[in-house]
Amino acid sequence: MSSIELERLRSENTVLRSQLADLQQRLIQSEKMSSVGTLASSITHEFNNILMTVINYAKMGLRHKQPAVRDKAFDRILSSGQRAAKITTGLLSYVRNRSDRKDILSLKQIVQDVLVLVEKDLAIHRVRLDLQVTSEPFASVNAAQLQQVLLNLIINARQAMDNGGTLTVSVGAGAEPGIAEITIRDTGCGIPADQLPRIFDRFYTTKTADAQGQGGTGLGLALCKDVIESHQGRIRVESGLGKGTAFILKLPAIAPPAMLLTGAPPSQKAG
């Protein structure tokens, strides 16, 4: 092969690699928007409820002149407003963050931020949420990417529990020293043993898009695996047909930054 030809192949290779990186980035973004799409209707419901609370307490405050009643009305309006702000801030930081930056963050905090976004969706589908925090591990993570992993796993779990059930999310120190664990466990349909080896494959899906056009890309778990491995972690699945499924995430734990130990509130908004 001539050196000119070799040079040409090299530069072609570089172009293809950068195109691949670009496409992967877009895939991540579109998978992200697909989880947001799944949550859109429940979040809209939630906002409607919040607005009804605000409107009703504002009316009550206007009607009743007693200071105690007005204080109560203001209290309710304030806490409803704060809840709405928490949801929008969470959603915006999740959608906007495209950087690769990793920060030392509390896994418990990240889990809680994701649960704010899915609570209503779970309730609508009669799924009870059980959060178990056994300790507060820290790890070096990209918050938006880890949130995306958790959202994918939680939406999968919810979709596996057609007739309702229980979603258990646990956070804590794992059995192995220096390893933090997050587990997402459902009481859903389970995965047949012969399908288990394939579920992390790109485009492997057993779903057809539902009424909202959600699910069925087969990209969710492939993405979860990529993200966890890029964090030097591991993802494992245990499943019993008709009993349920658990996805276990293991991440290298890191001592919390000194500033957090001195009582400053943990900040996990990256970027």
Ligand X SMILES: Nc1ncnc2c1ncn2[C@@H]1O[C@H](COP(=O)(O)OP(=O)(O)O)[C@@H](O)[C@H]1O
Nearer to ligand X, 47 or 204 (CB): 204
Q: How far apart are CA 59 and CA 73, in angstroms?
A: 9
User: Containing H/E element for 247?
Assistant: strand 244-254
Q: Is 220 in the site for ligand X (CB under 6 A)?
A: yes
Task: Return the one option of ligand X, Mg ion, none that residue 107 interacts with (CB less than 5 to 8 A, by type).
Answer: none
CB of 204 to ligand X, least distance (A): 6
**Residue 118 and residue 39 in contact, taking contact as beta carbons nearer than 8 Å:** yes
Q: What is the signed CA dihedral for 22, 24, 28, 29, rounded to 10 degrees?
A: 20
Q: What DSSP string describes 201-219?
A: STT-------TTS-S--S-
Of 110-118, 124-132, 154-162, 170-178, the segment contacting Mg ion by CB under 5 A is 154-162
Q: Is 156 in the site for Mg ion (CB under 5 A)?
A: yes
Task: Return the one option of ligand X, Mg ion, none that residue 157 interacts with (CB less than 5 to 8 A, by type).
Answer: ligand X
> 234-240 and 165-173: which strand pairing?
unpaired
Q: CB under 8 Å to 99, separation ≥6 — which residues?
A: 142, 270, 271
CB of 156 to ligand X, least distance (A): 3
Task: Return the one option of ligand X, Mg ion, none that residue 72 interacts with (CB less than 5 to 8 A, by type).
Answer: none
**Residue 223 and residue 31 in contact, taking contact as beta carbons nearer than 8 Å:** yes
Site for ligand X in 170-209 (CB under 6 A): 186, 188-189, 191, 199, 204-207
Nearer to ligand X, 53 or 170 (CB): 170
Q: Is 35 in the site for ligand X (CB under 6 A)?
A: no
Q: Is 90 in the site for ligand X (CB under 6 A)?
A: no
Q: CB under 8 Å to 191, separation ≥6 — which residues?
A: 199, 237, 239, 241, 245
Q: Is 137 in the site for Mg ion (CB under 5 A)?
A: no
Of 253, 235, 254, 230, the closest CA to residue 176 belongs to 253
Q: Is 218 in the site for ligand X (CB under 6 A)?
A: yes
- Cα–Cα distance list, 232 to 83, 177, 238 (Å): 34, 15, 21
Q: Is 190 in the site for Mg ion (CB under 5 A)?
A: no
Q: Is 220 in the site for Mg ion (CB under 5 A)?
A: yes
Of 148-156, 175-183, 185-193, 253-261, the segment contacting Mg ion by CB under 5 A is 148-156
When binding is defined by CB under 6 A, the residue of 217, 254, 256, 266 that contacts ligand X is: 217
Centroid of chain to Cα 271: 17
168, two tokens: 């258990």
Binding mask of the shown chain, residues 82 to 101, with x at each position contacting Mg ion by CB under 5 A: --------------------
Nearer to ligand X, 240 or 271 (CB): 240
Q: Is 167 in the site for ligand X (CB under 6 A)?
A: no
Q: Which residues bind Mg ion (CB under 5 A)?
A: 156, 220
